[in-house]
Structure 1
Amino acid sequence: MTPQSRIRSLINRLARIDAAGGWSGSLNPAQYAALDYLARANRHSRAPSHVAEFLGTTRGTMSQTLKALARKGFVQEEPKTGDQRSISYALTAEGMALAEVPSVIGTALSGLEDRVTAALETALTDILRAALDARDGRAFGLCKTCRFHDAGPVHGYCTLLDLPLQHGDRDLICVEHKAPSDDAT
């Protein structure tokens, strides 16, 4: 087995262990993954299509997953400003509390030395970027690392959407993210 095969196997095993943690309580792994995404996504990146794209599933499947989370009281539908036909989802207090429960993988990662954590984050980011490039996927990066982020105003400003950022937005996932090194499109 090559080192690449072993690493792929380790990543898959970790993903399955993490997903299995989603079975705790009243959520299945797909619902837990959607809840986790919504907890980390900015207000412009919470449409069912965004969650589906991030998690690599269909819009229909994700729509049903989000509706189940709404029935359980973990998320609520919100009409998008300016387009009443479009909706996005926000976590309720119960959903946020559940999303903040540490996972087994998160707990294991917290035990690593800082230098190991930094190296692992860099390596996994590079792997993810290469995999996304190979299938023309979106990065869904943090606002503060985006070429359209202007740190000047109080909480920052998105020059793509021409909107001021709210407190905490710079540390959230954005569907429109473009790394400064990405080619302009």
Structure 2
Amino acid sequence: MKPSVFILERVAALLQQLLRDDAARHGLLPVHLQVLGYLAQANRYSDIPIAVASYLGVTRGTVSQTLAVLERKGLISRSSDDRHGRRVHLQLTAAGEEVLAGSWPQRLDRLLAASGADLDELASQLRAVLGSLQRLNDRQAFGQCRECAHFLAENGSQRCGLTGEMLAVEQTIRICREWSDPRADRPALQAPTRSP
């Protein structure tokens, strides 16, 4: 095993431990905290149950049960979409935001900032690894709206080139399920081929 694979495995294990500890502190399961974290970042195209399932790589049934628990606990609320019939949007409540305040992502952010590492370079390298893993596992990519191939900035306004809809600035810094890598033509890390 290459040292980088070992390091990534250890990082993943320690992040999972942080997630489990934070969830237990609030009487939740890790998947509950993952859903809250996702919804805190999702834009209006992505704050729907099917996007939650896709992002977490779980079934719709699991997401449905998870959302029901979070709603009963008062951590999320649902609202109807006026333009798309039965579509339901999910939002964090004040209690849901409070659960996330000071949770492991914020602590990790502070740790990385204090490390002195080049965080832009680290993010670029991790993004390449993530993209390769998503392709290897046939997973949908999610990314920040304004870093998407569909994002259009024109005359001081922003628009989604896929839907044609205008975007509020606060939506452009959130993650989107319709995200497409603008660098898709760049060579990606390849999965090793197996000898017969």
- TM range, smaller chain: 0.7 to 0.9
**Residue 158 of structure 1: aligned partner:** 160
Q: Quote the Cα distance in structure 1 between the aligned partners of 2:157 and 2:90.
A: 23
Alignment partners' CA distance in 1, 2:29 and 2:83: 33
Question: What is the deviation of 1:7?
Answer: 2.5
Number of aligned pairs?
182
Q: In 2, distance between residues paired with 1:52 and 1:5? A: 27
Letter in 2 for 1:38: L
Q: Which has the larger radius of gyration?
A: 2
Supply the AA of the counterpart residue of 1:22.
A
Counterpart in 2 of 1:175?
Answer: 177
Q: 100, 105, 108: which one pairs with 1:105?
A: 108
Query: Aligned residue for 2:15?
Result: 15
Q: Which moves more between the two structures, 41-50 or 144-153?
A: 144-153
Partner of 1:50: 51
TM-score of the superposition, structure 2-length normalised?
Answer: 0.83
Q: Is the partner of 1:151 in helix, strand or coil?
A: strand
Once the two structures are superposed, residues 125-167 of structure 1 have per-residue CA deviations (whole angstroms, 9 ceiling, x without a partner) of 1110001112232211000101111122545111211111113
Quote the residue 1:125 is aligned against. 127
Is 37-46 or 135-144 further displaced after alignment? 135-144
- What secondary structure sits across from 2:115 in the alignment? coil
In structure 1, distance between residues paired with 2:46 and 2:14: 26
Q: What is the distance in 1 between the residues matched to 2:92 and 2:155?
A: 27
Distance in 2, Cα, partners of 1:75 & 1:162: 29
* Equivalent position of 1:37 in the other structure: 38
Runs of 4+ in 1 over 3 A off after TM superposition: none
Counterpart Cα distance in 2 of 1:124 and 1:14: 17
> Which residue in 2 is equivalent to 1:83?
84
Where in structure 1 are there 5+ consecutive unaligned residues?
Answer: none
1:2 is matched with which residue?
2
Unaligned runs of 5+ in 2: 186-196
Deviates more, 1:22-31 or 1:163-172: 22-31
